A and B are shown apart, each in its own frame.
Chain A
């Protein structure tokens, strides 16, 4: 029962996320790259996406976390807000930013664009998923 409710919740959440990315223009790498091009053809739209998302999520998260548990499952799987910043986090974020700046794709928009099947998207997603899967596999071996 809980598994079904969880999966349906995840399905609706995924759909809202995808539609939100498309409506906001973020499924288009050209728009993301224009946001990042602050000294050139700057398009500030991405800042509005973050403002809209955080504006809803910040009060929403606060309300949800007043509960002792989510609707399905016994606990929230959320790391503490004061967990320490480490080198791995900073290096990973730096590397991610370089890839993001090269293609204009981060993981969400790339998956939304996947089924539109542009060759560049297929190559990007295959490489991204392979890298994440390789990381997971190495973790298993350790």
Chain B
């Protein structure tokens, strides 16, 4: 696995769209566009967490590939792990980790860094480091992924 094409312009432009999304959400609802926090708000306790807004955001995220296909006229390209045990393990680690850290790549990595939050700078440094280490171990020490 590996060797995806380097896409500096598309990635910069896509990043700018994500930035616009985060600014819009803060302006309209006063909240951080952190996906793990938004998913968390779908579940109780609700105490002022605006679950209706969170559900609207998540729904739009889920339908976005179909909107993309209409606009771009091409399907979304992706390669996903085919191993169920691998996917479930990764999903549990991601879910538990972002719950404890109160944020993920969007809430800490984008929004937190953009507002110079100490916690987000620390969290981003740590998850980048463990993610790089994990990929190193799996790809270069263990010898690969169970791709479909």
| A contacts, CB < 8 Å to B | 3, 5-31, 33-34, 36-41, 43-46, 48-58, 60-61, 63-65, 67, 69-73, 75-79, 81-85, 88-108, 110-116, 118-121, 123-137, 139-140
Contacts and interface: CB of A to CB of B under 8 A. Distances in A.
Contact of B18 (A9, A52, A63, A95): A52
Nearest to A74: B30
25 contacts: A15-B60, A15-B61, A22-B68, A24-B15, A27-B65, A30-B1, A40-B2, A41-B2, A52-B13, A56-B20, A57-B114, A60-B19, A64-B27, A72-B29, A85-B119, A99-B89, A99-B94, A106-B35, A107-B39, A118-B80, A128-B91, A134-B95, A135-B95, A135-B96, A137-B43
A91 B99 CA distance: 11
Where chain B touches its partner, the secondary structure class is helix
A117 to B, nearest CB: 10
Nearest to A16: B21
A112 B98 contact: no
Contact of B56 (A11, A115, A133): A11
Contacts of A64: 23, 26-27
